[in-house]
Each structure stands twice: as C-alpha cells, then as structure tokens.
Amino acid sequence: MTSGWRCDDCLTVNGDPRKPCAACGGSRRRAEPSGPLSAPAWPPAGASWAPPSSAPASPAPPSSAAQAPPSWTAPAAGPGASAARTYHVSSRPPSHRLRLLLTTAVVIVGILVAVVLVVTNREQDGPDPGAARSVGAGSAQGGGPDRRDESEQADAAAARRMDALLTESIAGRRYLLEAIDQALACDTSAASRGMRAASQARTDLIAKAGDTDLAALPGGDDLKSGLIGFLRASYTADQAYLRWVRSADGCPSTGGAGFPAVERANAEARSRKTGFLADWNPVAERFGLPTRDVKSI
C-alpha cells in the first residue's frame, strides 16, 4: 500500500506526497485514501461514451430559438471526490459592439424626441399670424396671383381697344387736313368732299366708341366719356370748316366771315383733346402703348 495525493489543479494522482505534481508541477492537493496507485478509470464516472460511427454525423440544422451558451462539466474523479465542476463559455459580444449598439439607440431616441417636441410646439402655437395677415391682404386686394393676372389681362385688352379707336381718329383727321389744303388752293369742290368724309368718319367713330367696353380700364368710364367728348367737338369743327368753304365767294380765305366760327370750334376740340390725353397717356405708358398728342387725333 502506498499513500498518494491528487493534484487540485489538474486532478492527476501522484505518488510521492513530498514532490510536486508530476503532470503540471502544482502543489495544491487534496487528500486521497491510501492504496496502490492506479490509473484513473476511463470513461470517468458519470460520463457516457460510444464508439464513433463510420459515417460522419450530419450537422444539426440551426434552430430559430435562442441557444444557451455552451458549457463543459468536469467529471468526478472517483470515490471521495468533490462534486463535479461546470465551466461556462461566455457568448457575450465584444464590448465595442455593445457600445456601438447603445450609442445608435441613444441617437435614434434623441431624434424621435426632437421631432415630437417640434410637432407639439407647432400645434400649440397655432397658424402663423403673419401668413394669415398675408392671405387676408391678398383677399382684400382682389384675390391671389391668378385673380390679379386675370385682372391685368382684362385691363390690357381694354387699353388696346382704346388705342385702336384713337388710331381711327387719326385717319379721320387726315381727311380734314387734306381738305383744308385743297380749300386754300381754291379747289372748293375737292375740299367740300374731304370735309364731308372727315365728318362722317367722326360720326362713325362716336358710335363705335359708345359700343366699346372700356370698363376694365382704371377709370375706364371717364376715359370713354372723354373720348366721345373730344370726337363730338372735332365733328363740330369739321362742320365749321365745311360751312367756311361753302360760304366763301371764290377762293376761301382765313380772313373770311366764316372763319371765326372755325377758330372757336377748333379751340373747343383742342381743349377736350388735352383733357382726355392727360388721363389716357399714363395708361398707355403702363401697357406699353403709344402716347398721343393734340395734333395727331
């Protein structure tokens, strides 16, 4: 019978109790009963063993359920040995991955909190009073951009109709100017025809102006009234010229008895044209139309 001891580090059974462990050199030991030295039994007590199969084992399919961390249990050494020890293998992720996950979660939570705060503040503050004032001002001024564009287009169309009427007035005045030259040249027959043509042109234009819609223009009613007023005064002047030619004894002269009536009619027509053009020319400039003068219309 030989006394022995078991190493507490590697569980090797040693012979001479005076020497360190022959396997690992350790000196931590536990008491063992005296008896002949023998090799530890294999497989250890409590462990099962089966001979390997000739065919390689198929790997187990991965399980969707969470796997417990792997572990290894050291078998008991034999009679009198302490309870078997279980060693667990850690499956925790590295610390830097954990820090990255925590940082990402904190950032996402911060963004969500900021969005909630912004939405809440806007709901509490209500609509922007400045925007409300802007919308109200737009309504008071006749609506939004589309409404203003439509109004501008209507104004421009009415201005072009007025300009067309003034262009026709220029043509009627041309008849009169040619007839005056013929009268001074003692061609009373041609002068009379020209003055009658000028009077008819004025009459036709007065009727046309009365049927033209100029209400879309700023001050359109006043402009229309001014237009018809100077056309009637011009018609009166045309008739005064015609009477002057017919009353002349021979070649008409500006010193004749009928010419003072011509001058009075011309002064009235000139005054009416001046007042009309004072109102019309700024409108014409606004819409890019030509301005007129007293002598042209």
| Residue extents of the structural domains in the chain | 1-32, 155-286
Q: How many residues does the chain have?
A: 297
Residue 294 vs residue 102, higher pLDDT: 294
- Separation between Cα atoms, residue 108 and residue 296, nearest integer Å: 79
Average pLDDT score over residue span 143-152:
69
- Separation between Cα atoms, residue 19 and residue 7, nearest integer Å: 11
- Identify which of 271, 166, 269, 154 has the alpha carbon closest to the alpha carbon of residue 209: 166
What residues have CB less than 8 Å from 198, skipping those under 6 apart?
A: 172, 173, 175, 176, 179, 238, 241
Q: What is the pLDDT of residues 166-191, one digit of tens each?
A: 999 998 899 999 999 999 999 999 99
Q: What is the pLDDT of residues 201-225, one digit of tens each?
A: 999 999 999 999 998 888 899 999 9
In the prediction, which pLDDT does 145 show? Answer: 57
DSSP string covering 12-47: -EES-TTS--TTT----EEE--SS---PPPSSPTT-
Query: Six-digit token pair at 118?
Result: 């912004």
- Identify which of 192, 172, 174 has the alpha carbon closest to the alpha carbon of residue 183: 192
| Predicted structure pTM score | 0.52
- Identify which of 167, 236, 168, 166 has the alpha carbon closest to the alpha carbon of residue 199: 236
Q: Tell me: pLDDT of 135 over 90.
A: no
Residue 251 vs residue 101, higher pLDDT: 251
Minimum mean pLDDT range among 77-81, 169-173, 235-239, 285-289: 77-81
In a 13 Å sphere around the CA of 70, the CA atoms on its Cβ side amount to 2
Distances (CA, A) of 36 to 14, 16, 18, 32, 33: 11, 12, 17, 11, 10
In the prediction, which pLDDT does 133 show? Answer: 45
DSSP conformational letter for 73: E
Average pLDDT score over residue span 273-289:
96
Average pLDDT score over residue span 228-237:
97
